[in-house]
Chains A and B, each alone.
Chain A
Amino acid sequence: MKVAIIKYNAGNVQSVTFALNRLGIEPVLSNDPEVLKSADKVIFPGVGEASTAMASVKENGLDKIIPGLKQPFLGICLGLQLMCRHSEENNTACLGVFDLEVKKFPPNEKVPHMGWNKIHSLKGPLMNGLTNDAYLYFVHSYYAEMGSSTIARSDYMVPFSAALQKGNFYAVQAHPEKSGVDGARILKNFIEL
């Protein structure tokens, strides 16, 4: 199986690569449209700040490619946020795969939302085999609001989308590559789609 990880200037891709290696997958890292289009699966990781990351996405022409991809596609962390319509982080227009707004957590509690939190209201094949109230590792200051594409919910001051799906497009806010056995299960589910 050919799994491509999208290469742009906002990914800590090593951890994702190692997590896939543990599942017996040797991913390719690429920003070549032809490589991405011909892959069996595409993963879109991301850490850092939204406007800088979107600039890097556009610089590589990936904003034109990503929404048209047909194979299973998985955004992780900032990747999920960039797949939404718009982010409050530096007022950034994003890819619009999910018609959702990305908002900043209120300052009532510690931000970033950093650590292990429960997910629940699970739906669809990406969440196969996970129990309600499974723990995943999160690190983020912005969150995607709840919507019809929400396939897992988590709560930190407000309810938010811990995972999303629309057709072949999947995304998780947590870091499955760092979330122990349950995180590995999410990646395995994605690989087996």
Chain B
Amino acid sequence: MLTKRIIPCLDIKDGRTVKGVNFVDLRDAGDPVELGARYAAEMADELVFLDITATVERRKTLVELVRHVAREINIPFTVGGGISSIADVSALLNAGADKVSINSSAVKRPGLIDELSREFGNQCIVVAIDSRFVDGVHVVHTHGGRTPTALETISWAKEAENRGAGEILLTSMDHDGTKAGFADELTAKVSETVGVPVIASGGGGTQEHFLDVFTKGKADAALAASIFHFQEVPIKELKEYLRDQNIPMRL
């Protein structure tokens, strides 16, 4: 049976791991390769590296980091942050990334999803959606959740799938950083609407939150950052708990 996946996210700035609380305050939580290897040893199912560096040197640094990670770590990983062209994706995949995640660039120019999927296959194209509940509507936001768009979350997820997304990474900006639980209802709606896997992100603070997002939220995978970084919820214990609750887990 295909297992549900637990995915630690490592936010990267200038080659180092950071974590934003509501994407504003950043804390240094170590070397990404070392942290990634620790997660892999703790039975993390995949890793996500999200680059939030804004400098022009960003892409080169990121490619080097990807190469370093791929050399050391034997589980799959996704790279996201500022990716906007076939050349960007090609450089990251050639350095050893398994998947890339695109967000603002796909909203700005949806045809990018079609182009990347045609060029590299949909299995390596993750479309990340940052969603915020505004006046009764789930609104897609870009630029780290700061900028609202005209897109509604569920219909954008469906469009992304139709254009060739192989996976949807759904972050609820209302839940992110709160540790009060994932956006189970929204996640379930997206998961029931699309035919590709959905990774839920934002709000995971306890083991029970993960159980809820896999049952009520119908997520295929769940992602979190700081609770894993600071070992508030150790990955192996979380996976053992979920297995005991009859969620299929690799252990």
Contacts and interface: CB of A to CB of B under 8 A. Distances in A.
Interface in A127-177: 135, 137-141, 155-156, 175, 177
Q: Sort chain A's interface into a size bin.
A: 35 or more
A14 B95 contact: yes
Given A117-B3, A137-B76, A112 B95 contact: no
A54 interface: no
A118 B5 contact: no
A112 B220 contact: no
A115 B219 CA distance: 13
Contacts of A109: 2
Chain A binding surface, main DSSP class: mixed
Contacts, number: 93
A38 interface: no
A18 B77 CA distance: 14
Contacts of A118: 1
A110 B196 contact: yes
Nearest to B99: A139
B220 A110 contact: yes
B166 interface: yes
A18 B121 contact: no
Contacts of B250: 116, 135
Interface in B25-81: 40, 45, 67, 70-71, 74-76
Q: Closest 5 CB pairs between A and B?
A: A14-B96, A48-B121, A116-B250, A135-B250, A139-B123
27 contacts: A12-B93, A12-B94, A18-B71, A22-B74, A49-B121, A107-B195, A109-B2, A112-B123, A114-B167, A115-B2, A115-B5, A116-B5, A116-B45, A116-B250, A117-B1, A118-B1, A137-B75, A139-B76, A139-B98, A139-B123, A139-B124, A139-B166, A141-B122, A156-B2, A178-B74, A180-B75, A183-B74
Interface of B: 1-5, 40, 45, 67, 70-71, 74-76, 93-96, 98, 120-124, 166-167, 195-197, 220-221, 250
